[in-house]
Structure 1
């Protein structure tokens, strides 16, 4: 299903349709402030495994990320953040950043790598953040785009729907997406490190 939702004024009835699909273990493609993402409820292991199969990801080796609603929601899933990291995140969120943090026991095992870290996003996009809020759980975050893909299909929701309609339950048309990924910042030690420079510009 291709579902049109407007970011400036998301229709709650349409959003609830998407939430029902997520609660029932469905897969959804959604807009962010960078590239369109494909995801599911992080607590539904079978759905997470489906996403991994679609993307060709090995869950034992993958560095999975998920989307939270805001900074206080992030703190539900991390070990205590030091003051410097907290202030830096507060300055940059919502925005096109993925923060690698030390995970606590609320993070499902599938998401923790050997280092017990996890990537967390709060995109500057009303549609996906409202979905997370209504669902009450974070949503898996991985981009629909592969490095060798032609660029056009990954920005146009109708072309995304053509490519993925047999694999996911809903593709949200939230307008054209971007092609540049989020900037990844490793916050697991005192020395903050940019591990991928993407759309977001960081000020430490």
Structure 2
């Protein structure tokens, strides 16, 4: 059964964050809060963990559109091609924030994602998520946890999330009630920014 850890966003306990990081380093799956909905994530460098997430989502890993959750803009540049000034200004203005930006990937992408030309990048405005990524030392590959209930697209109560997911993942972080609106997705990989999905972030940022 999964561990269930309470972490406070205003002052995340270093010991608690280290417990989460250890699970990720050991190839575990973690459910954690972001500035939008709760996410399901694993260490970007762990193939077996990536395959587990793909299985849970019922998709082939190479076809999966997972996001890379980074801690800051310099973290992003490890995985994307050099970005132009206008793209950088959009990222600087909006991150950390409730956006997923699709950017052209570079050769540092893990082998599982090499066939993809683009990658979705997130820097959530949530201290717990950012601290986990900082202490891990590399991005988390992440996907949002959908609810089967048609009315509730996303689960917001960490205790209910734990009840539902405790046998599928290794750790659930209770970071308080989550949101129920996903991130706004903007494709910045072409000549013009394209709004892919309107979510919590204001789509008029470009």
- Give the TM-score normalised by the residue count of structure 1: 0.95
Question: 2:141 maps to which residue?
Answer: 140
Alignment gaps of 5+ in structure 1 = none
C-alpha displacement of 1:55: 1.4
Aligned pair in 2 of structure 1 residues 199, 173: CA closer, same or farther (>3 Å)?
same
5+ residue gaps, structure 2: none
* Distance in 1 (alpha carbons) for counterparts of 2:139 and 2:35: 17
Counterparts of 2:151 and 2:29, CA distance in 1:
23
Off by >6 Å, runs of 4+ in structure 1: none
CA distance in 2: counterparts of 1:190 and 1:38, whole angstroms = 31
Alignment of 1:55-204 (within 5 A): 55-114=57-116, 116-146=117-147, 148-151=149-152, 154-202=155-203, 203-204=205-206
CA distance in 2, matches of 1:71, 1:131: 16
- Are 1:65 and 1:111, in contact at CA under 8 Å, matched by a contact in 2? no
CA distance in 2, matches of 1:51, 1:167: 9
- In structure 1, what is the Cα distance between the partners aligned to 2:66 and 2:4? 26
Shift of 1:182: 0.4
Shift of 1:106: 1.3
Counterpart CA distance in 1 for 2:148 and 2:184 is: 16
Distance 2:114 2:147 in 1: 23
Please report the TM-score for the alignment, with normalisation by the length of structure 2: 0.94
Alpha-carbon distance in structure 1 between the residues aligned to 2:104 and 2:148: 27
Count of aligned positions? 203
